[in-house]
């Protein structure tokens, strides 16, 4: 059945961790574990497999930001490297933990919308 919902709406709902169909129920049961069905509308969102897309896209987003920062920090001799590089690593892990669930939710929203047809 063709859906009249715009693709961007489904992606934005997923980005907020909400069901791409209704925008009310939650996509995730845990940090990254998908709920089998939407708690609000019963949409079977657990069947949607994002696979390696979200981690790949997260690296694609963070890589161009973190690589130059790492380079600049390591070339800057004003601070001790044993302190700045672990701090940078912690920041990178934090950025991944912040971004990955949102990217996965957006992917699920996109995949759900693509399953609905044009």
Query: In the bound complex, what is the minimum distance in angstroms from residue 98's beta carbon to Zn ion?
Result: 24
For 48-67, the DSSP string reads ---TTHHHHHHHHHHHHHHH
Q: What are the φ/ψ torsions at residue 26 (nearest 5 degrees)?
A: -90, 145
From candidates 11, 15, 21, 110, binder to Zn ion by CB under 5 A: 21
Query: In the bound complex, what is the minimum distance in angstroms from residue 99's beta carbon to Zn ion?
Result: 23
41 in contact with Zn ion (CB under 5 A): yes
Query: How many amino acids of this chain bind Zn ion (CB under 5 A)?
Result: 8
Query: In the bound complex, what is the minimum distance in angstroms from residue 73's beta carbon to Zn ion?
Result: 43
All residues at 6 or more sequence positions from 18 whose CB lies less than 8 Å from its CB, including other chains = 24, 25, 26, 27, 105
> Which residues lie near Zn ion (CB under 5 A)?
19, 21-22, 25, 38, 40-41, 43
């Amino acid at each position: 059945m063709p859906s009249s919902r715009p693709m961007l709406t489904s992606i934005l709902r997923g980005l907020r961790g909400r069901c791409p169909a209704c925008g009310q129920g939650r996509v995730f049961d845990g940090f990254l574990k998908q709920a089998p069905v939407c708690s609000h509308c019963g949409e079977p969102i657990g069947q949607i497999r994002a696979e390696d897309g979200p981690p790949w896209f997260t690296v694609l987003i963070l890589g161009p930001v973190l690589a130059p920062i790492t380079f600049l920090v390591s070339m800057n001799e004003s601070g001790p490297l044993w302190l700045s590089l672990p701090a940078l690593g912690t920041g990178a892990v934090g950025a991944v933990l912040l971004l990955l669930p949102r990217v996965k939710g957006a992917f699920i929203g996109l995949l759900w919308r693509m399953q609905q047809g044009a």
